[in-house]
Structure 1
Amino acid sequence: MRKHITRLLAATLFSVASLAQASDFKEIRIATEAGYPPFEYIAPNGELQGFNIDIGNEICKRLEAKCVWIDQSFDSLIPGLQARKFDLANSTMTATDARRKVIDFSSPLYIVASRLVAHKDKPLEPTAESLKGLRVGVQQGTTMETYARKEWAPKGVQIIAYPSYTNAFTDLAAGRIDASFQEAPNAVNGFLDKPEGADFQLTGDTIKDSAILNEPIAIGLRKGNKKLKAAVDEAIQAMLTDDTIQQLSQKYFEPNTIEFPSGK
């Protein structure tokens, strides 16, 4: 995906079409798993904050709707959508083919690299050969878990799934697992920048040839919710066109940490 964006036509369409639809949505319930900084997390004051929270709030603002945020475990997001407990799932969810069979997705938001974290004395690579006989922590229901169970587990790597990466980082610091596998910004903000992560580092290459890991992040919607999907897609398109999403990302990420779609 290219980072350079030229979408003036999309901006024009948004100003005419989306604003006309804004009154259709008085309240939008958005679920997230708030243990994944810097994407979504609970601040010391108890408020939900993060990159995806900012994106969701901006979408609600453009649709003139009230955002109601719901903190859910990641593996309950799809069942919750299907059960109509909320309208959107905005929680760094990769738009995989398997998930598209059961829910719809918005237009792509961004792509982020997945990396291993291990102790500085363990220069591990994200391969079955390097990880054989070791314990690798992942979060339940993530594409990292899917990839690890498909590519590594059959070849002797023990995959430990946690309800949150917070739990995985605790076990990593205590030596109960040998590595964790997650999106790089979460590893930095959620662990490596903290005192308990001082002896750990991102290790190994980024996996670039995996259809599982290199799909875009998007917002999940219930199947058939066409009106809301159209409105959210138009808002995202406009936010990419006017650089709103790119500017929001600068609060949370180093340059070139994530990539944005062309949006054409």
Structure 2
Amino acid sequence: MKTTLLGAALLIAAGLIPAVGSAADAKELKIATEAGYPPFEYRNPNGQLEGFDIDIGNEVCKRLNRTCVWIDQSFDSLIPGLQARKFDLANSTMTATEARKKVIDFSTPMYIVPVKLMVKKGSGLEPTAESLKGKRVGVQQGTTMETYARKHWAPKGVEVVSYPSYTNAYVDVTAGRLDATFQEAQSAVEGFLNKPEGADYELAAMMLDDPILNEPIAMGIRKGNALKADVDKVLKAMLADGTIQGYAKKYFAEGLIRFPAQ
């Protein structure tokens, strides 16, 4: 899509095209995200994109001398969008699972985040099929949490309810329509627990150690796209020089994110 100067200015003001470096004449790099997942990707009160993944993506564009064009769309449409060549990268806290690797490529791993169950204080609920039997648990569509819950919990009497974003799930938690939600721990903290409506809720004590929930987060790339080599090189450099770890300090409490060995 061609963009007029006025149109570009409006998009920059909206946070869809971050103004990075001297990239006015640089080739565009289209990156898709689902901006309803703080602190990874979200919109600030002015409607601009912010978050850990957004910072990483903007720096990748800067180091590649490309102009970032951010595309905000639902998480479960990211892989089809990559395959349809609607954008170059998907950067939205996407776990590099074996199933996804069959249909898209992934960048070098960027980070790993722990997954936890969020429950009402005093409920005693734990992330096990036995504890959750007969309960309703909210997950986001297309996530590894949904995959895990449908594989391990749903067959044993747990009702797994999928949502386009966790924002909707948190509304149903407070309304009593859900007994728990299942997500990356930091997302629950930033998206709900740190807000007044989250005062009566907490993360369940038990940490899940299933391999499917401990696979690294990476950027999704269309299979065969030569861009992968350049993105991998930049991300490895950003991990080696501490850039990504520095961004993490802006958003995460101690122990709520890990990084791949260098």
Partner Cα separation in structure 2 for residue 242 and residue 211 of structure 1: 28
Partner Cα separation in structure 2 for residue 213 and residue 256 of structure 1: 16
Partner Cα separation in structure 2 for residue 252 and residue 167 of structure 1: 22
Computed over aligned residues only, the root mean square deviation of the Cα atoms, in angstroms, reads 1.2
Task: Provide Cα deviations, 1:152-187, integer angstroms capped at 9, x if missing partner.
Answer: 000000000000000000000111000000000000
Q: Counterpart amino acid of 2:240?
A: T
What does 1:1-264 align with in structure 2 at a 5 Å threshold? Answer: 26-208=27-209, 210-226=210-226, 228-263=227-262
- Relative to the length of structure 1, the TM-score reads 0.89
- 1:206 Cα offset (Å): 1.0
Partner Cα separation in structure 2 for residue 26 and residue 135 of structure 1: 47
- 1:204 Cα offset (Å): 3.1
Task: Provide Cα deviations, 1:68-102, integer angstroms capped at 9, x if missing partner.
Answer: 00001000000000000100000000000000000
Partner Cα separation in structure 2 for residue 203 and residue 214 of structure 1: 17
- Relative to the length of structure 2, the TM-score reads 0.90
- 1:124 Cα offset (Å): 1.1
User: Where does the alignment leave 5 or more consecutive residues of structure 2 unmatched?
Assistant: 1-22
User: Where does the alignment leave 5 or more consecutive residues of structure 1 unmatched?
Assistant: 1-21
- 1:123 Cα offset (Å): 1.9
Partner Cα separation in structure 1 for residue 33 and residue 109 of structure 2: 17
Q: Counterpart amino acid of 1:204?
A: A
Partner Cα separation in structure 2 for residue 100 and residue 252 of structure 1: 28
Partner Cα separation in structure 2 for residue 231 and residue 155 of structure 1: 45
Structure-2 residue corresponding to 1:16: none
Partner Cα separation in structure 2 for residue 156 and residue 204 of structure 1: 22
Q: The residue matched to 2:231 in structure 1 has which SS?
A: helix
Percent identity between the aligned chains?
Answer: 70
Aligned length: 239
Is the 1:40–1:48 contact (alpha carbons within 8 Å) kept by the matching residues of 2?
Answer: yes
Is the 1:127–1:152 contact (alpha carbons within 8 Å) kept by the matching residues of 2?
Answer: yes
- 1:32 Cα offset (Å): 0.2
Partner Cα separation in structure 1 for residue 202 and residue 84 of structure 2: 40
Q: Which has the higher strand share?
A: 1
Structure with greater contact order relative to length (CA < 8 Å, sep ≥ 6): 1
- 1:26 Cα offset (Å): 1.2
Partner Cα separation in structure 1 for residue 236 and residue 254 of structure 2: 21
Is the 1:35–1:166 contact (alpha carbons within 8 Å) kept by the matching residues of 2?
Answer: yes
Is the 1:32–1:70 contact (alpha carbons within 8 Å) kept by the matching residues of 2?
Answer: yes
Q: The residue matched to 2:212 in structure 1 has which SS?
A: coil
- 1:255 Cα offset (Å): 1.6
